[in-house]
Chain A
Amino acid sequence: MNPVTGRLPRDNHRLAINPDPCTGCLNCMMACSQHRSGGADPDSSAIRVELEPFDGHHRIRFCRQCPTPACRAACRFDAIVAESGRGPWIVLADRCTGCGACVTACPFHAMMFSQISGKAFKCDLCGGSPECVSACHFGVISWLPPGVQSPRGIPREDLDPSLGRS
Chain B
Amino acid sequence: MYGGYAGRILHVNLSTRVIEIQSTGDYLPQGIGGRGIAVLIALESIRRGMTPWDPAAPLIIMTGPLTGTMAPFSGRTTVCGLAPQGHPHEWYTRSSFGGHFGPELKYAGFDGIVLTGRASEPVYLEIENERVTLRPASDLWGLGLIESQRRLIDRLGSAWRIFAIGPAGENLSRIAVAATETESASGQGGFGAVMGSKMLKAIAVRGTGALRIADPERFETVCRWVREEAHGSHGWPHTPRLDPEHVRKYGQRFQACTQGCTIRCFDARYYRHVPSRLCPGKRLAGQIDCIAGLFPGIPGTFYDWKLGFEAGFEVSQIANDEGLNHWEILVGLMPWLRKLSQTGELTHIDGILIDLDSQQFWVDLFRAMSRRTSETASILAEGTVRACERLGIGREALDELYPCWGYAGHWDGHGDHINRIFFPFWIVSAIQWAVDTRDPISSGHGYVQNLMGWCLENSPVHGIPWEDIIRIGTKVYGSPSSVDPAGGYEGKAFPAYWHGHRSVMKDSLPVDDQVFPRVFSKKTPDFFARAGDLEGPQFEHALFVSATGIPWSETDFDHFCARTIHLERELLIRLFDRSRQDDETLIPYLQKPENRINPYIGHPMSLDPLHFRDVLTEYYELRGWDPATGHPTPRTRELFRLPGPT
Contacts and interface: CB of A to CB of B under 8 A. Distances in A.
- Answer yes or no: are A and B bound together in one complex: yes
B260 interface: yes
A158 B211 contact: no
A30 B260 contact: yes
Contact of B253 (A39, A51, A137, A154): A154
Contacts of B242: 154, 158-160, 163
B247 A154 contact: yes
A20 B248 CA distance: 12
A40 B100 contact: no
Q: Is the interface of A mostly helix, strand, loop or mixed?
A: loop
Interface string A3-42: 0000000000000000011011111001101100111111
Interface residues of A, number: 42
A65 interface: no
Nearest to A137: B262
Interface centre among B210, B220, B308 (most CB of A within 10 A): B210
Contact of A165 (B103, B150, B260, B309): B309
Given A31-B70, A166-B309, A54 B285 contact: yes
B253 A56 contact: yes
Nearest to B231: A137
A159 B256 contact: no
A77 to B, nearest CB: 26
A147 interface: no
A163 B224 CA distance: 32
Given A158-B241, A158-B242, A163-B243, A138 B210 contact: no
Contact of A115 (B75, B107, B208): B208
A87 B210 CA distance: 29
Nearest to A43: B208
Contacts of B153: 54
A42 B240 CA distance: 29
A41 B264 CA distance: 25
A57 interface: yes
Contacts of A38: 212-213, 216
Contact of A41 (B210, B245, B256, B263): B210
Contacts, number: 141
Contacts of A25: 256, 259-262
Contacts of A94: none
B261 A23 contact: yes
A54 B68 contact: no
Contacts of B287: 53, 56
B149 interface: yes
Nearest to B245: A164
Contacts of B481: none
B627 to A, nearest CB: 45
Contact of B272 (A21, A42, A51, A56): A56
A50 B158 contact: yes
A158 B264 contact: yes
B637 interface: no
Interface in B151-165: 153, 158-159
Interface size class of B (residues with CB under 8 A): 35 or more
A56 B210 contact: no
Contact of B241 (A40, A52, A135, A160): A160
A41 B259 CA distance: 14
A21 B208 contact: no
Contact of A34 (B181, B216, B255): B216
A159 B255 contact: no
A161 B259 contact: no
B564 to A, nearest CB: 25
Contact of A137 (B70, B159, B213, B227): B227
Given A25-B262, A39-B210, A34 B220 contact: yes
A25 B70 CA distance: 10
B254 interface: yes
Interface in A133-165: 134-135, 137-138, 154, 157-161, 163-165
Interface centre among A23, A43, A55 (most CB of B within 10 A): A23
B253 A26 contact: no
A53 to B, nearest CB: 4
Contact of B285 (A20, A55, A165): A55
A53 B264 CA distance: 18
Interface in B46-82: 68-70, 72, 75
Contact of B70 (A27, A56, A159): A27
B260 A27 contact: yes
Contacts of A34: 70, 213, 216, 219-220
A24 B75 CA distance: 12
Contacts of A158: 241-242, 254, 264
Nearest to B106: A40
Nearest to A42: B107
Given A23-B256, A52-B158, A137 B263 contact: yes
Contacts of A161: 244
Contacts of B255: 23-24, 56
B181 A21 contact: no
Interface in B73-103: 75, 99-100, 103
B208 to A, nearest CB: 5
B251 A56 contact: yes
B246 interface: yes
Contacts of A37: 210
Contacts of B254: 21, 23, 138, 158
A165 B241 CA distance: 13
Interface string A50-85: 111111110000000000000000000000000000
Nearest to B100: A51
Contacts of B99: 53
A93 to B, nearest CB: 18
A137 B261 CA distance: 9
B244 A40 contact: no
A115 B251 CA distance: 37
Interface of B: 4, 68-70, 72, 75, 99-100, 103, 106-107, 146, 149-150, 153, 158-159, 181-182, 208-213, 216, 219-220, 224, 227, 240-247, 251, 253-256, 259-264, 270-272, 285-287, 308-309
22 contacts: A24-B100, A25-B260, A26-B103, A30-B70, A30-B259, A31-B70, A33-B70, A34-B220, A39-B213, A40-B70, A41-B210, A50-B159, A51-B158, A53-B181, A53-B182, A54-B150, A54-B182, A54-B285, A57-B272, A158-B242, A159-B243, A164-B244
Given A33-B70, A138-B254, A154-B247, 8 more contacts: A20-B253, A40-B68, A40-B213, A56-B253, A56-B287, A134-B224, A137-B227, A160-B242
The 6 A-B residue pairs with the shortest CB-CB distance in the complex, in nearest-first order: A41-B210, A160-B241, A30-B70, A25-B256, A163-B243, A53-B181
